[in-house]
Structure 1
């Protein structure tokens, strides 16, 4: 993850990077995160910056500093307001998988009159294309469309962070989600991205995300290679 002073306090950027690695299984539950000197070198920041980042992670219950041992991961799930159910990626991480994200493209697009996107967002929206990689294998391709209250600069480094957490950081609370599922054949482009044959049957998830006023903030389409891993959801009572 690149650290940029224009994106806010450096310690918060380092904290987000470490937290994301914890949530996606890069630093598994019970493991030690890299030492402070290693983190200083990786992010090219001061000792105080790293210490403040780790201190906040400890206060939020993700890590615990142990004298003479190091800093141990003690929790790998978030306190997200997004859902009473655990996030899909959290379920996979709890089962020992590693999730990586790759930002493919991020751009503002002009929508065509009378198109579906125009009806949702008006004449402009932000398009985000991302690839999720499961244990080193391409697994899910997402295309997100976001209301133009966001800019490409607002969304920062989506190679590492959760899109929904970034939305929350802009003080927009997503209160309602509507998911629908179907199947679709892999196009040539999807086949190349997911390393599967063209025409292979994929799970297709379509999501509409609304804020507390009922305004549509995000519309997304995800294609999952469920032969690699089933779509999993755990619901807590």
Structure 2
């Protein structure tokens, strides 16, 4: 996997990639992550870079190192500020599912005057299209729109980690979220990505994400094929 030599330190990039794999079940709980030589070969970096990345995850409580027994995953839930409850994907991973992400498209787009996106962002925004696979099958399609008023947020490594985690790293704080749910027919390109028949009703989640000043940072539309897996919210009280 190629890493950005102009972005944050390499060990932090690798740390975030490994962490994202843990959170999405690629490295399951109680299993060992690949050995240091394997990770060195995958990322084409030195031993000390891998050790620094792993040490960070040990300090954060995701990994445990045992002499002669490898490095084991001991936690697979995040401490994200996204919500006070566990994220949907984390619940699926806890149940033994594997979540994979595909970055389909990233582009700056223009908005026609009078449209919802023009009212939200003005003339232009950054559009990100992503697909989530559940145990290898297309399950969720997201289209995110991000404000361009924050400047270049270096989104080249979106393939490797979550959008919200990346925004957090870029010092773009998200303080408030508003989700709306409905049942809707998806656009044809979403139906194609999810491999569902035309005019299939899908769960649609619309999200508005704001920073701590109340400025809208992200607007997104997600379509879920709940025939595969129902949407879950697990509250702890």
* TM bracket (short chain): over 0.9
1:90 maps onto 2:99 in alignment? no
**Distance in structure 1 (CA, Å) of the matches to 2:151 and 2:126:** 7
Q: How many Å apart are 1:84 and its aligned residue? A: 0.4
CA RMSD, 1 decimal: 1.3
**Distance in structure 2 (CA, Å) of the matches to 1:211 and 1:153:** 15
Per the alignment, residue 232 of structure 1 pairs with 232
Per the alignment, residue 203 of structure 1 pairs with 203
**Distance in structure 2 (CA, Å) of the matches to 1:45 and 1:153:** 25
Q: How many Å apart are 1:187 and its aligned residue? A: 3.7
Per the alignment, residue 114 of structure 2 pairs with 114
**Distance in structure 1 (CA, Å) of the matches to 2:40 and 2:61:** 22
3-state SS of paired residue (1:91)? helix
Map 1:77-226 → 2, pairs under 5 A: 77-150=77-150, 154-226=154-226
Aligned length: 237
**Distance in structure 1 (CA, Å) of the matches to 2:150 and 2:137:** 30
**Could you tell me whether the CA contact under 8 Å between 1:176 and 1:209 is conserved in 2?**
yes
**Distance in structure 2 (CA, Å) of the matches to 1:202 and 1:76:** 28
Q: Please, what TM-score do these two structures have when normalized by structure 1?
A: 0.96
**Distance in structure 2 (CA, Å) of the matches to 1:136 and 1:151:** 35
Q: How many Å apart are 1:216 and its aligned residue? A: 0.9
Q: How many Å apart are 1:151 and its aligned residue? A: 5.7
Q: C-alpha offsets along residues 143-174 of structure 1, whole Å, 9 cap, x if unaligned?
A: 00111035676112222211011111121221
Q: C-alpha offsets along residues 9-49 of structure 1, whole Å, 9 cap, x if unaligned?
A: 11111111111100000000000000000000111110000
Tell me which moved more, 79-88 or 45-54. Answer: 79-88
Q: Please, what TM-score do these two structures have when normalized by structure 2?
A: 0.96
Tell me which moved more, 149-158 or 32-41. Answer: 149-158
**Distance in structure 1 (CA, Å) of the matches to 2:163 and 2:101:** 11
Q: How many Å apart are 1:189 and its aligned residue? A: 1.9
